[in-house]
Amino acid sequence: MENKKECCKHIKGIKCNVQNCYYHDCETYCTASEIAVGPHSADSSAQTLCATFKPKDL
């Protein structure tokens, strides 16, 4: 049996496709303990960002 990288400690319901983020794990999971999204106001999703993003050490 192949050991899969543990990815069960993700935020349920939060998906992330940013593969170079420190908190991105496995498929589309965010493993941060919490996330912060900003800025304080926006008119569309294109105007928002994940303030929790941290570059993954390569």
Dist. CA 50–CA 27, nearest whole Å = 18
pLDDT band at 58 (very low <50, low <70, confident <90, very high): low
Instruction: Supply the pLDDT for residue 26.
Output: 73
26: number of CA atoms within 13 Å, CB side?
14
Kindly provide the residue ranges of all beta strands, DSSP E only, lying in 1-58, ordered along the sequence.
24-25, 29-30, 37-38, 49-50
- Rounded to 5 degrees, φ, ψ at 13 are 85, -5
What are the pLDDT digits (tens) for 21-49? 999 987 888 999 899 999 999 999 999 99
The residue count of the chain comes to 58
Q: How many CB atoms lie within 10 A of CB 28?
A: 14
